[in-house]
Amino acid sequence: MAAPRTIAFVSPRYPEGATVGGAETLLRRLAERLAARGAEVAFLATCARDHFTWANEWPADTRRINHVEVRRFPVDTNRDHALFLARQAAICRGETLSPAAQEEWLRHSVQSAALIEWLQTEGRRFERIVAGPYLFGLVNSVARGFADRTLLVPCLHDEPFARQPMIAEMMRAVRGCLFNSEPERALAGRLYGAEVARRGAVVGLGLDPFEADPHAFAARHHLSAPYVFYCGRREAGKGTPLLTDYLAVFRERTGRDVRLVCAGSGPLDLQPFVHDVGFLSEAEKHEAMAGAVAFIHPSTMESLGIVLLESFLAGTPALVHAGGEVLRWQCERSGGGLWFRHYPDFETELQWLLDHPELRAALGRQAQAYVRREYAWETVERRLIHALEAL
């Protein structure tokens, strides 16, 4: 069976400029790789830049970027934001919404009637539609409307949203799923049944190797003390308040001057030992990773861990939350990181990393070799092409 030659990718946002997001970045890179192999690829997204307001900031237009036809459509402006937040809050409290309330939750999430209409009239030329992540109303509308052609990239987490019946219906209805890791596929099997896991394939994301000077970032930012590094959204769901709390206690209990460098966006507890560097270029981000004692990823809701894998490529070991099944799995498989259940683990492990530079370097070498083996683009492309053929 040959791989599909015409493929549409759908996501609420197309990652460009300050628009960031692991799921969107993953979809864009997969689309670009397929286009480079000669497939006809379109990427359909909304005009939104900000995932909080969903305001239409980009023009509704069509451009060709890296051989991909990028089409943006306006977000529907008739959404009832207050009703959406009320339904979302009920889900977060552990409630299972009625079918009507679930419909309201998804309808007043980000939606684009213009995008759906374009797919209905012009989308017949696409053999497959690759859509994700699962949580957004637009993705749900695409999956329900074109289930026989849709491969979902769910970026699934074990969270209350994933347990709503309409999400389960969507996962069971689509042609198949492209998962980011084996723990994510196992979670889908537990939540939605073995058939969903069987009709799925683990693909992930390819990463290009790079070289980074481990001394450059500290010199540029006048950091003389050792530092740990975090990169990504700063919010409770990612565990950043826990990280700043733990490091404050660590410094007080041990008397060791260890700094925390944070890149990305979102609110941050700016204590004197926290250095907020905002958005970094790719080169400077890699330098920050290479110079860190450890990359600390306290999130418990990841389906792949792109920044974790980038830190591995920089030769830097990781310290992750044991409750993050995927991140712990990456550390176990690679031999490139440690995981903490609570503060005593965190203190013991960070001290060990500080006190054993040769062993820390050995962890980093193992981590780097793992990513170069498992997440080289040629390896990921083989998995992707096989999934497109088999599903």
Whole-number percent of the chain with pLDDT over 90: 88
Quick: pLDDT tens for 135-183: 999 999 999 999 999 999 999 989 999 999 999 999 999 999 999 999 9
Question: Structure tokens of 119?
Answer: 């797919």
- What pLDDT, on the 0 to 100 scale, is given for residue 233? 84
The alpha-helical segments, DSSP class H, found in 56-178 are 81-92, 99-107, 113-122, 137-145, 165-173
CA distances from 122 to 65, 112, 118, 152, 381 (A): 20, 15, 5, 20, 27
Residue 4 predicted with pLDDT over 80:
no
Which of helix, strand or coil describes residue 46?
strand
Quick: pLDDT tens for 289-347: 999 999 999 999 898 999 999 999 999 999 999 999 999 999 999 999 999 999 999 99
User: pTM here?
Assistant: 0.89
Main-chain phi, psi angles of 318, to 5 degrees: -120, 155
Quick: pLDDT tens for 41-72: 999 999 998 888 899 999 999 999 999 999 99
Q: CA-to-CA distance for 284 and 93, rounded, in angstroms?
A: 40
- What pLDDT, on the 0 to 100 scale, is given for residue 17? 66
Residues in the chain: 391
Contact 239, 342 (CB under 8 A): no
Binned at pLDDT 50, 70 and 90, residue 350 comes out as very high
Contact 193, 169 (CB under 8 A): no
Average pLDDT over residues 67-93: 95
| Strands across the sheet containing 227-231 | 274-278, 259-263, 227-231, 295-297, 318-321, 337-340
- What pLDDT, on the 0 to 100 scale, is given for residue 52? 81
What is the pLDDT of the chain when averaged over all its residues? 94
- What pLDDT, on the 0 to 100 scale, is given for residue 15? 86
Give the residue among 300, 253, 299, 251 at the shortest CA–CA distance from 274: 251
Binned at pLDDT 50, 70 and 90, residue 247 comes out as very high
- What pLDDT, on the 0 to 100 scale, is given for residue 152? 97
Architecture of domain 216-374: 3-Layer(aba) Sandwich (3.40)
Q: Cis bond leading into 133, ω under 30°?
A: yes
Q: How far is CA 205 from the centre of its chain?
A: 10
Contact 302, 326 (CB under 8 A): yes
Residue 99 predicted with pLDDT over 60:
yes
Residue 1 predicted with pLDDT over 60:
no
Ranges of CATH 3.40.50.2000 domains, the chain: 6-206+376-390, 216-374
Quick: pLDDT tens for 6-23: 999 999 999 886 546 788
Q: What is the CATH number of domain 6-206+376-390?
A: 3.40.50.2000
